[in-house]
Amino acid sequence: MHLFPVVEFGGIGFDISSILAIVVSCIVVMVLARVAVSNLSVHNPSKVQNFMEWVIDFVHSTIASTMPLQKAKKFVILATTLIVFIFVSNLLGLPLGFVTEVDHDHHGPVTFMGQELLSAEEVDEAHANNEHLAFAWFKSPTADIAATAGLALVVFFLIHFLGITQNTKHYFKHYLEPFPVMLPLNLLKTITKPTTLALRLYANIFAGEVLIATILMLGWIGIPLLAVWQGFSIFVGAIQAFLFTILTFVYISESIVHEDH
Protein backbone atom coordinates (compact mmCIF):
# COMPACT_ATOMS: atom_id res chain seq x y z
CA MET A 1 0.00 0.00 0.00
CA HIS A 2 1.10 3.59 -0.66
CA LEU A 3 1.29 5.87 2.35
CA PHE A 4 1.92 9.59 2.54
CA PRO A 5 4.71 10.79 4.87
CA VAL A 6 3.28 12.87 7.72
CA VAL A 7 5.50 14.55 10.30
CA GLU A 8 4.30 16.29 13.45
CA PHE A 9 5.38 19.67 14.78
CA GLY A 10 3.68 21.06 17.86
CA GLY A 11 1.10 18.30 17.74
CA ILE A 12 0.06 19.20 14.18
CA GLY A 13 0.57 16.72 11.35
CA PHE A 14 2.12 18.00 8.10
CA ASP A 15 1.75 15.95 4.91
CA ILE A 16 5.14 16.29 3.21
CA SER A 17 3.83 15.17 -0.19
CA SER A 18 1.09 17.79 -0.13
CA ILE A 19 3.47 20.57 0.95
CA LEU A 20 5.94 19.70 -1.82
CA ALA A 21 3.14 19.68 -4.39
CA ILE A 22 1.81 23.06 -3.23
CA VAL A 23 5.29 24.57 -3.55
CA VAL A 24 5.61 23.15 -7.07
CA SER A 25 2.15 24.50 -7.99
CA CYS A 26 3.12 27.98 -6.82
CA ILE A 27 6.38 27.86 -8.77
CA VAL A 28 4.64 26.69 -11.96
CA VAL A 29 2.02 29.45 -11.74
CA MET A 30 4.64 32.15 -11.04
CA VAL A 31 6.86 30.96 -13.91
CA LEU A 32 3.89 30.83 -16.28
CA ALA A 33 2.88 34.37 -15.31
CA ARG A 34 6.45 35.65 -15.64
CA VAL A 35 6.92 34.08 -19.07
CA ALA A 36 3.57 35.47 -20.23
CA VAL A 37 4.59 39.08 -19.44
CA SER A 38 8.31 38.86 -20.26
CA ASN A 39 8.00 39.91 -23.93
CA LEU A 40 4.67 41.65 -24.31
CA SER A 41 3.90 42.76 -27.83
CA VAL A 42 0.85 44.30 -29.45
CA HIS A 43 1.81 43.39 -33.02
CA ASN A 44 3.64 40.08 -32.51
CA PRO A 45 2.40 38.41 -29.29
CA SER A 46 3.88 35.08 -28.26
CA LYS A 47 1.80 31.93 -27.95
CA VAL A 48 2.03 32.13 -24.15
CA GLN A 49 0.85 35.75 -24.23
CA ASN A 50 -2.06 34.79 -26.49
CA PHE A 51 -3.00 32.00 -24.13
CA MET A 52 -2.87 34.19 -21.02
CA GLU A 53 -4.88 36.92 -22.74
CA TRP A 54 -7.50 34.33 -23.61
CA VAL A 55 -7.55 33.13 -19.98
CA ILE A 56 -7.98 36.68 -18.68
CA ASP A 57 -10.76 37.43 -21.17
CA PHE A 58 -12.50 34.20 -20.21
CA VAL A 59 -12.14 34.94 -16.50
CA HIS A 60 -13.36 38.52 -16.97
CA SER A 61 -16.50 37.40 -18.82
CA THR A 62 -17.09 34.71 -16.18
CA ILE A 63 -16.93 37.20 -13.31
CA ALA A 64 -19.04 39.70 -15.25
CA SER A 65 -21.79 37.07 -15.38
CA THR A 66 -22.00 37.15 -11.56
CA MET A 67 -21.81 40.91 -10.86
CA PRO A 68 -21.85 44.31 -12.62
CA LEU A 69 -18.99 44.88 -15.05
CA GLN A 70 -17.46 47.77 -13.08
CA LYS A 71 -17.22 45.67 -9.94
CA ALA A 72 -15.92 42.67 -11.86
CA LYS A 73 -12.84 44.47 -13.21
CA LYS A 74 -11.08 44.69 -9.85
CA PHE A 75 -11.41 40.94 -9.25
CA VAL A 76 -9.87 39.76 -12.54
CA ILE A 77 -6.36 39.22 -11.12
CA LEU A 78 -7.68 37.33 -8.09
CA ALA A 79 -9.92 35.12 -10.22
CA THR A 80 -7.16 34.42 -12.76
CA THR A 81 -4.74 33.45 -10.01
CA LEU A 82 -7.35 31.23 -8.40
CA ILE A 83 -8.42 29.35 -11.52
CA VAL A 84 -4.86 28.86 -12.83
CA PHE A 85 -3.51 27.71 -9.46
CA ILE A 86 -6.34 25.21 -8.94
CA PHE A 87 -6.09 23.89 -12.51
CA VAL A 88 -2.32 23.37 -12.20
CA SER A 89 -2.77 21.75 -8.78
CA ASN A 90 -5.45 19.41 -10.13
CA LEU A 91 -3.11 18.14 -12.85
CA LEU A 92 0.14 17.77 -10.92
CA GLY A 93 -0.68 14.32 -9.61
CA LEU A 94 -1.34 12.89 -13.08
CA PRO A 95 2.13 12.61 -14.65
CA LEU A 96 4.32 12.65 -11.53
CA GLY A 97 4.83 9.97 -8.95
CA PHE A 98 7.78 9.67 -6.58
CA VAL A 99 7.62 6.56 -4.44
CA THR A 100 10.02 5.17 -1.85
CA GLU A 101 9.75 1.42 -1.39
CA VAL A 102 10.08 -0.15 2.06
CA ASP A 103 12.27 -3.22 1.64
CA HIS A 104 10.68 -6.50 2.71
CA ASP A 105 13.78 -7.22 4.81
CA HIS A 106 13.32 -3.99 6.77
CA HIS A 107 12.01 -4.79 10.25
CA GLY A 108 12.68 -1.62 12.23
CA PRO A 109 10.65 1.59 12.31
CA VAL A 110 10.52 3.84 9.24
CA THR A 111 11.70 7.36 10.06
CA PHE A 112 11.94 10.69 8.27
CA MET A 113 13.52 13.89 9.62
CA GLY A 114 13.97 12.15 12.94
CA GLN A 115 10.28 11.28 13.21
CA GLU A 116 8.68 7.87 13.08
CA LEU A 117 6.41 7.34 10.09
CA LEU A 118 5.74 3.67 10.80
CA SER A 119 6.52 1.74 13.96
CA ALA A 120 8.44 -1.53 13.88
CA GLU A 121 5.23 -3.36 14.84
CA GLU A 122 3.31 -1.83 11.90
CA VAL A 123 6.10 -2.75 9.50
CA ASP A 124 6.25 -6.33 10.78
CA GLU A 125 2.46 -6.65 10.59
CA ALA A 126 2.42 -5.41 7.00
CA HIS A 127 5.19 -7.86 6.02
CA ALA A 128 3.37 -10.70 7.78
CA ASN A 129 0.27 -9.93 5.67
CA ASN A 130 2.41 -9.72 2.51
CA GLU A 131 1.47 -6.06 2.08
CA HIS A 132 3.53 -3.88 -0.23
CA LEU A 133 4.77 -0.84 1.70
CA ALA A 134 5.75 2.37 -0.07
CA PHE A 135 5.67 6.10 0.62
CA ALA A 136 4.36 8.43 -2.08
CA TRP A 137 6.12 11.81 -1.98
CA PHE A 138 3.98 13.67 -4.49
CA LYS A 139 0.30 14.12 -5.29
CA SER A 140 -2.14 16.76 -6.48
CA PRO A 141 -2.40 19.42 -3.73
CA THR A 142 -6.16 19.47 -4.23
CA ALA A 143 -6.30 15.75 -3.44
CA ASP A 144 -5.62 16.79 0.16
CA ILE A 145 -8.63 18.03 2.15
CA ALA A 146 -6.35 20.37 4.13
CA ALA A 147 -5.34 22.21 0.93
CA THR A 148 -8.90 22.60 -0.39
CA ALA A 149 -10.13 23.60 3.08
CA GLY A 150 -7.41 26.26 3.19
CA LEU A 151 -8.56 27.68 -0.14
CA ALA A 152 -12.18 27.60 1.01
CA LEU A 153 -11.31 29.42 4.25
CA VAL A 154 -9.54 32.17 2.32
CA VAL A 155 -12.67 32.54 0.18
CA PHE A 156 -14.87 32.48 3.29
CA PHE A 157 -13.02 35.36 4.99
CA LEU A 158 -12.82 37.30 1.72
CA ILE A 159 -16.58 37.05 1.19
CA HIS A 160 -17.39 38.41 4.63
CA PHE A 161 -14.63 41.03 4.64
CA LEU A 162 -15.86 42.47 1.33
CA GLY A 163 -19.48 42.25 2.44
CA ILE A 164 -18.84 44.13 5.68
CA THR A 165 -16.54 46.79 4.18
CA GLN A 166 -18.32 47.45 0.89
CA ASN A 167 -21.99 46.85 1.62
CA THR A 168 -22.39 46.91 5.39
CA LYS A 169 -26.11 47.62 5.63
CA HIS A 170 -27.19 44.96 3.14
CA TYR A 171 -24.65 42.44 4.45
CA PHE A 172 -26.20 42.27 7.91
CA LYS A 173 -29.75 42.79 6.66
CA HIS A 174 -29.68 39.80 4.30
CA TYR A 175 -29.38 37.41 7.27
CA LEU A 176 -32.92 38.42 8.23
CA GLU A 177 -34.40 38.07 4.75
CA PRO A 178 -37.00 37.24 3.68
CA PHE A 179 -38.14 36.99 7.32
CA PRO A 180 -36.22 37.30 10.62
CA VAL A 181 -37.16 33.71 11.47
CA MET A 182 -34.83 32.64 8.64
CA LEU A 183 -31.74 33.79 10.60
CA PRO A 184 -30.65 30.25 11.70
CA LEU A 185 -30.98 28.90 8.15
CA ASN A 186 -29.11 31.85 6.68
CA LEU A 187 -26.29 31.34 9.18
CA LEU A 188 -26.20 27.63 8.30
CA LYS A 189 -26.00 28.51 4.61
CA THR A 190 -23.05 30.77 5.36
CA ILE A 191 -21.17 27.86 6.94
CA THR A 192 -22.05 25.34 4.23
CA LYS A 193 -20.69 27.50 1.39
CA PRO A 194 -16.96 27.02 2.15
CA THR A 195 -17.60 23.44 3.26
CA THR A 196 -19.12 22.44 -0.07
CA LEU A 197 -16.39 24.31 -1.97
CA ALA A 198 -13.67 22.37 -0.16
CA LEU A 199 -15.36 18.96 -0.28
CA ARG A 200 -16.41 19.14 -3.94
CA LEU A 201 -12.92 19.96 -5.17
CA TYR A 202 -11.21 17.47 -2.85
CA ALA A 203 -13.59 14.59 -3.56
CA ASN A 204 -13.34 14.85 -7.35
CA ILE A 205 -9.55 15.09 -7.49
CA PHE A 206 -8.95 12.49 -4.77
CA ALA A 207 -11.31 10.02 -6.45
CA GLY A 208 -9.46 10.51 -9.73
CA GLU A 209 -6.10 9.77 -8.15
CA VAL A 210 -7.47 6.68 -6.39
CA LEU A 211 -8.73 5.39 -9.73
CA ILE A 212 -5.35 6.06 -11.36
CA ALA A 213 -3.62 4.12 -8.58
CA THR A 214 -6.07 1.25 -9.11
CA ILE A 215 -5.45 1.21 -12.86
CA LEU A 216 -1.68 1.15 -12.29
CA MET A 217 -2.12 -2.04 -10.26
CA LEU A 218 -3.34 -3.75 -13.46
CA GLY A 219 0.12 -3.47 -15.01
CA TRP A 220 0.49 -3.26 -18.79
CA ILE A 221 -3.14 -4.32 -19.27
CA GLY A 222 -4.29 -1.02 -17.79
CA ILE A 223 -2.13 1.21 -20.02
CA PRO A 224 -4.89 1.94 -22.61
CA LEU A 225 -7.40 2.65 -19.85
CA LEU A 226 -4.86 4.85 -18.06
CA ALA A 227 -4.30 6.93 -21.20
CA VAL A 228 -8.04 7.48 -21.58
CA TRP A 229 -8.50 8.36 -17.92
CA GLN A 230 -5.55 10.78 -17.95
CA GLY A 231 -7.23 12.70 -20.77
CA PHE A 232 -10.54 12.71 -18.94
CA SER A 233 -8.80 13.86 -15.75
CA ILE A 234 -7.56 16.99 -17.53
CA PHE A 235 -11.17 17.78 -18.42
CA VAL A 236 -12.31 17.14 -14.84
CA GLY A 237 -9.48 19.29 -13.48
CA ALA A 238 -10.50 22.20 -15.71
CA ILE A 239 -14.19 21.86 -14.76
CA GLN A 240 -13.41 21.76 -11.04
CA ALA A 241 -11.15 24.83 -11.27
CA PHE A 242 -13.91 26.67 -13.14
CA LEU A 243 -16.61 25.64 -10.65
CA PHE A 244 -14.57 26.66 -7.61
CA THR A 245 -13.81 30.05 -9.16
CA ILE A 246 -17.27 30.92 -10.42
CA LEU A 247 -18.94 29.83 -7.16
CA THR A 248 -16.46 31.98 -5.25
CA PHE A 249 -17.53 35.05 -7.19
CA VAL A 250 -21.19 34.17 -7.02
CA TYR A 251 -20.83 34.21 -3.22
CA ILE A 252 -18.82 37.45 -3.34
CA SER A 253 -21.47 39.03 -5.54
CA GLU A 254 -24.18 38.06 -3.06
CA SER A 255 -22.24 39.92 -0.36
CA ILE A 256 -21.31 43.12 -2.18
CA VAL A 257 -24.08 43.62 -4.75
CA HIS A 258 -27.52 44.76 -3.66
CA GLU A 259 -30.23 46.13 -5.88
CA ASP A 260 -33.01 48.09 -4.24
CA HIS A 261 -36.42 47.14 -5.53
Confidence of residue 260 (pLDDT cuts 50, 70, 90): very low
pLDDT in tens, 172-227: 887 777 778 888 888 888 888 889 999 999 999 888 877 877 776 676 776 777 77
Q: What is the per-residue pLDDT across 71-93, written as a single tens digit (0 to 9) for each?
A: 888 888 899 999 999 999 998 87
Q: Which one is predicted more confidently, 149 or 94?
A: 149
Q: What torsion do the CA atoms of 19, 24, 30, 35 make, to the nearest 10 degrees?
A: 180
Is the bond preceding 194 in cis, omega lying within 30 degrees of 0?
no
Closest CA to 107 of 91, 130, 126, 123: 123
Could you tell me which residue, 158 or 128, shows the higher pLDDT?
158
Q: What is the pLDDT of residue 221?
A: 73
Rounded to two decimals, what is the model's pTM? 0.81
For residue 96, which phi and psi values (nearest 5 degrees)? -110, 140
- What number is the average pLDDT over the span 236-248? 92
Which DSSP letter does residue 40 get? -
Q: What is the pLDDT of residue 115?
A: 58
Is the pLDDT reported for residue 28 higher than 80?
Answer: yes
